[in-house]
Structure 1
Amino acid sequence: MPKFLIRILGIALFLSGMLWTLQGLGLVMWPAESFMLGEREWATYGLIAAGAGLLLIWLTRNRGQKD
């Protein structure tokens, strides 16, 4: 899988994980019908997903090398 696709997946995973975290903590109450709102376990799942996303982003960083 090309680096840029892995990076896009990492960014999407990070952003969705942060949304889950904020919903789980009750800081973002959107969408109103979401089952994640105010549920602390979703804050934990979100942090795990965001961390995995950051890991993917970090693994695809350019280290001064050309592809």
Structure 2
Amino acid sequence: MKKKYLRRVSAGVYASLQGRVFVDMREFLAEYGIPDNPEARLAVMSQVRQELGEVNIELLEEESD
């Protein structure tokens, strides 16, 4: 899914009209000054899932120009 088709909820978090939630992990980490490494990504996704409950969260694909 491309960001241009989604509504920005907060830094790095987007939602579709169908209620799907997407995370641009690179944008999210940069916004909050968190280093971009596998451990940080895992910790962030765990926290996001705790906050949003059973919502299916998908990572946004890299967009090519």
Q: Which TM-score band (shorter chain)? A: under 0.3
Between structure 1 and structure 2, the one with the greater Rg is: 1
Q: Which structure shows the bigger proportion of residues in helix conformation?
A: 1
**Greater RCO, CA 8 A, separation 6+:** 1
Q: Which structure shows the bigger proportion of residues in strand conformation?
A: 2
**TM-score, normalization: structure 1?**
0.26
